[in-house]
A and B are shown apart, each in its own frame.
Chain A
Amino acid sequence: MLMMIAKRLGMAIPSLIGVVIVTFLLTRALPGDPAAYFAGPAATPQAIQEIRVKLGLDKPLIEQFGRYVVDLTHGNLGTSLTTGQPVATELRNRLPASAELTLLGLLVSIVIAVPLGILAATKPNSILDHTCRIISTLGVSLPVFFTGLVLVYVFYFLLGWAPPPLGRLDVFYTEPPHVSGFYLIDSLIAGDVPTFIASLKQLVLPALTLGIFSLAPIARMTRASMLAVLSSDFIRTARASGLSSYTVIVTYAFRNAMLPVITTLGMVFSFLLGANVLVEKVFAWPGIGSYAVEALLASDFAPVQGFVLTMAVLYVILNLLIDVLYGLIDPRVRLEA
C-alpha cells in the first residue's frame, strides 16, 4: 500500500511541474500591468517603470520563472494585489470554506444520484429508468449559477425558508474555534449546536446547487456499473442461491458496483471545484473559487497561481485517497499491490 502511494506521488510530479509552468505562462499573458496598478492613478511612466523594476517584471520571463520557483520552494506564494495579503495565508483561510461546501455538495449528489442510478439499473429501459435519466440530465443542463440564483430567489426571497445568502454563517453568530476549519465539525467539537444549525442552514442551498449539477455523472456511472454487475456471473450465482433481493442488490451488487463509481467521484470532485467558482460568487461564499475569479479578472498573478497550484495538489491528493479507498473496498487491489 505504501509503495503504491509513493508510486502514485511519483507519477504526479511531472503533471504538477506542468501545472506550474502552464499557470506561470498563462498568468503572464493576462492583460493588465501590475506595475501600473501598484503605481496608482496618478503615476508617471517613469514611476511605473521604477515599480516594474522593483517587482522584477522587467526581467526576462525565464528569470522571473526562476524567482517564482525559488519562492515556491520556500512556501511563498506571493502577495495578492487586490486584497493585499499573502496568498498562502488567504488560501489557507479560505480553503476550508470551499472544501466544506464542495464535500457537502458531493455528499448531496451521492445521496440522490446513487439511489437513482440503482433504481434505473434494476429496471433498465423502463419508465423509471427514463425518468432517472431525465432528472439527472436536467440537473447538468442548467448553468450552475442560474440554479443557484433561482434557489435563492425561491427559497430565500419568496419563501423565506433559507437564510440570507451571506456566506458561511449568519452575521450574528461567531465562528466556532478553529480546529478543522469546517464550521460543521468545529461547532460540534465546541458543542455549539445553534452555530452548527446556523452554518448548516447556510450550506443547504449552495450544496444543493452543486449537488444538482453533479447528479448526472454519478447517476450514470452508478447505473452503468450496476447494470454491468447485475449481469455478472456472481450475481447470477447469488440469485440462484436464493439470497434475498436486498442481499443481492446491496451486499453483493452495490458494493462491487461502487468501485467504478468511486473512481468517477474523483472526476466529479474536480468538476465541482470548477463549478464552485460560480456558486461561491452567487452565495457570497468566502472560498478560494471566488478569490481566484476576482484575482483572474484583476490580472492578479499570485493568487491565480497559488489557487491553481493548490487545486492541482488537491487533485493529486484526492486521487490518492480514492486509490486508497478503492484498495479498502477491493481486496484484489489491496492484496496484490
Chain B
Amino acid sequence: MSIVAASPPRENALAALIKHSRYVISENPVTGFAFALFVLIVLAAVLGPHLVPYDPLQSDTSEALKPPNLHHLFGTDQLGRDIFSRVVVATRLDFFIAVASVVLVFVMGGFAGVAAGFFGGWTDRIVGRIADTIMAFPLFVLAMGIVAALGNTVQNIVIATAIVNFPLYARIARAEANVRREAGFVEAARLSGNSDWRILAFQILPNVFPILVVQMSLTMGYAILNAAGLSFIGLGVRPPTPEWGIMVAEGAQFIVSGEWWNAFFPGAALMVAVFCFNLLGDGLRDMVDPRRRT
C-alpha cells in the first residue's frame, strides 16, 4: 500500500495516542474488553481486602463446604472459609507475583539484551550463552528446581519466573538494540559526541522499551500459571495465604466428590486474569507496532 506514504499530520502526542488507541479498540473490540477486565483486576488487587464480606482466613467449621449461596457467593471451602473473599483477596498476591516477576525480568533481560545488542562481542556472547542454557531447560522444570532449591517463598517464585523468562526478553531486546545501533539517529547522536552509555540510555532504551512492554503483558499471564503449577506440586505459596493456583490445586481434590466450587471459582479467576493479560498483550502489540501483530 504505497499510497499512505505521506507523512501523518502533526498532532499533540497524547491526543494522537488516544485517537490511535480508540482506533485499535474499535478495530479490535476484544482489546477493549480486555482493558476493562484489567481495570477490574487492578481494582480488586488494590481494594480487594476492603471489598470482601468475610475475613479470607477466618474458618467457620459449621459452614464448611457449603455450595454457592446468598451468604457465600462462591461457596465455602473445607474449613468453612468464604471462597469469594479468598478469590478477591488473592488478586493482590497473584497480581503482585505477575507484576514483580515481569518487572524483574524486564530489568534483567532488557538490560542484558540491550547491552548484548549494542556492544556486541563478548557481552553478546555471554548473554547469548546464558540465554541458550536457560532455553535448554524445560522451563517449568527449571522454575521448580529454583523454587525447590531456594525455598518455598513468594519471593523465590518471582525470581524463578523471572529467570525462566530471561531468554525471551534478552533476545527481543538484543534484536531491537542491534537494529537501532546502526540507525541514523544513533549515528547522529554518536557523531555529536555522546558516550556509548548516554546513547544507550537516551537513544536505545526508549526505543526498545515499548516492544518489551508488550511482552510484559503476555508474560504476566505466564507468571500466574507458573505459580499455579508450582502450587499444584506443593511448591507454591504458604498456606493459608489465598492464592488462585493453590486454591485450584487444593480444590481439585473436591471435584470428584461434587464440591466443584472449590476449584472452579479460583480457576475461573485465574483464567480470566491470564486471559485478560494475554489479550491485552495482543492489543498493546497492535498499538505499539501494527505490523508486528501475531
Query: Which residues of chain A have a CB within 8 Å of any CB of chain B?
Result: 12, 14-16, 18-19, 22-23, 26-27, 29-31, 125, 130, 133-134, 137-138, 140-146, 149-150, 153, 157, 216, 220-221, 223-225, 227, 270-271, 273-278, 281, 289, 292-293, 296-297, 299, 304, 307-308, 311-312, 315-316
Contact partner of A277 among B138, B225, B271, B282, CB < 8 A? Answer: B138
Contact partner of B293 among A134, A146, A224, A312, CB < 8 A? Answer: A224
Per-position binary interface string of chain B over residues 161-198, scored 1 when its CB falls under 8 Å from any chain A CB and 0 otherwise: 00000000000000000000000000000000000000
On whether the beta carbons of B221 and A278 are closer than 8 Å, the reply is no
Q: Does B45 contact A (CB under 8 A)?
A: no
11 contacting pairs across A/B (C-beta < 8 A)? A29-B150, A137-B278, A141-B221, A149-B263, A153-B256, A271-B139, A276-B138, A297-B233, A308-B142, A312-B136, A315-B138
Contact partner of A296 among B148, B232, B256, B272, CB < 8 A? Answer: B148
Q: How far is the CA of A36 from the CA of B252 in the complex (A)?
A: 33
Among listed B68-76, B83-91, B106-114, B127-135, interface-contacting one: B127-135
Residues of B within 8 A of A227 (CB): 293
On whether the beta carbons of B294 and A224 are closer than 8 Å, the reply is yes
Q: How far is the CA of A223 from the CA of B282 in the complex (A)?
A: 13
Residues of A within 8 A of B241 (CB): none
Q: A258 to nearest B CB, angstroms?
A: 15
Query: Which residues of chain B have a CB within 8 Å of any CB of chain A?
Result: 27-30, 129-130, 132-133, 135-142, 144-146, 148-151, 221, 225, 228-229, 232-235, 245, 248-249, 252, 255-256, 263, 267, 270-272, 274-275, 278-279, 282, 293-294
Given contacts A19-B133, A137-B279, A281-B233, 15 further A-B contacts (CB under 8 A): A19-B137, A26-B145, A26-B149, A137-B278, A141-B274, A141-B278, A143-B267, A145-B252, A146-B263, A146-B267, A216-B278, A270-B138, A278-B140, A278-B232, A311-B136
> Would you call the interface of chain B mostly helix, strand, loop, or mixed?
helix
On whether the beta carbons of A18 and B294 are closer than 8 Å, the reply is no
Count chain B CB atoms within 10 A of each CB in A14, A221, A223, A293 and give the residue with the most.
Answer: A293
On whether the beta carbons of A18 and B278 are closer than 8 Å, the reply is no
Tell me the nearest residue of chain A to B30, going by C-beta: A130
Q: B113 to nearest A CB, angstroms?
A: 17
Q: B226 to nearest A CB, angstroms?
A: 9
Residues of B within 8 A of A277 (CB): 138, 140-141, 144, 233
Contact partner of B30 among A133, A157, A221, A223, CB < 8 A? Answer: A133
On whether the beta carbons of B28 and A143 are closer than 8 Å, the reply is no
Residues of A within 8 A of B248 (CB): 143, 145-146
Q: How far is the CA of A216 from the CA of B248 in the complex (A)?
A: 22
The 10 closest A-B pairs by CB, nearest first: A224-B294, A18-B133, A274-B140, A29-B149, A141-B274, A15-B132, A274-B138, A141-B275, A312-B136, A143-B228
Tell me the nearest residue of chain B to A270, going by C-beta: B138
Residues of B within 8 A of A143 (CB): 225, 228-229, 232, 245, 248, 267, 270
On whether the beta carbons of A138 and B271 are closer than 8 Å, the reply is yes
Residues of A within 8 A of B137 (CB): 19, 22, 308, 311-312
Q: How far is the CA of A134 from the CA of B255 in the complex (A)?
A: 26
Knowing A221-B294, A315-B136, the reply to whether A26 touches B146 (Cβ < 8 A) is yes
On whether the beta carbons of B255 and A150 are closer than 8 Å, the reply is yes
On whether the beta carbons of B135 and A15 are closer than 8 Å, the reply is yes
Q: How far is the CA of A273 from the CA of B137 in the complex (A)?
A: 10
Q: How far is the CA of A216 from the CA of B255 in the complex (A)?
A: 27
Q: How far is the CA of A221 from the CA of B248 in the complex (A)?
A: 30
Q: How far is the CA of A30 from the CA of B275 in the complex (A)?
A: 34
On whether the beta carbons of B278 and A157 are closer than 8 Å, the reply is no
On whether the beta carbons of B233 and A278 are closer than 8 Å, the reply is yes
Tell me the nearest residue of chain B to A290, going by C-beta: B233
Q: How far is the CA of A227 from the CA of B294 in the complex (A)?
A: 9
Count chain A CB atoms within 10 A of each CB in B129, B141, B263, B275 and give the residue with the most.
Answer: B141
Q: How far is the CA of A311 from the CA of B274 in the complex (A)?
A: 27
Residues of B within 8 A of A224 (CB): 293-294
On whether the beta carbons of A270 and B228 are closer than 8 Å, the reply is no
Tell me the nearest residue of chain A to B266, going by C-beta: A146
Residues of B within 8 A of A299 (CB): 148
Q: A179 to nearest B CB, angstroms?
A: 27
Q: How far is the CA of A138 from the CA of B248 in the complex (A)?
A: 17
On whether the beta carbons of B136 and A316 are closer than 8 Å, the reply is yes
On whether the beta carbons of B148 and A14 are closer than 8 Å, the reply is no
Tell me the nearest residue of chain A to B235, going by C-beta: A297
On whether the beta carbons of B129 and A18 are closer than 8 Å, the reply is yes
Q: How far is the CA of A215 from the CA of B137 in the complex (A)?
A: 21
On whether the beta carbons of B141 and A270 are closer than 8 Å, the reply is no
Residues of A within 8 A of B28 (CB): 125, 130
Residues of A within 8 A of B232 (CB): 143, 145, 278, 281
On whether the beta carbons of A146 and B252 are closer than 8 Å, the reply is yes
Residues of B within 8 A of A26 (CB): 145-146, 149
Residues of B within 8 A of A312 (CB): 136-137
Contact partner of A149 among B27, B141, B245, B252, CB < 8 A? Answer: B252
On whether the beta carbons of B278 and A297 are closer than 8 Å, the reply is no
Knowing A26-B149, A146-B248, the reply to whether A19 touches B136 (Cβ < 8 A) is yes
Q: B149 to nearest A CB, angstroms?
A: 4
Q: How far is the CA of A223 from the CA of B294 in the complex (A)?
A: 7
Q: A20 to nearest B CB, angstroms?
A: 10
Residues of A within 8 A of B142 (CB): 308
Q: A113 to nearest B CB, angstroms?
A: 13
Residues of A within 8 A of B141 (CB): 274, 277, 289, 292, 296, 307-308, 311
Q: How far is the CA of A293 from the CA of B132 in the complex (A)?
A: 23
Contact partner of A15 among B129, B228, B294, CB < 8 A? Answer: B129
Residues of B within 8 A of A134 (CB): 30, 279
On whether the beta carbons of A311 and B138 are closer than 8 Å, the reply is yes
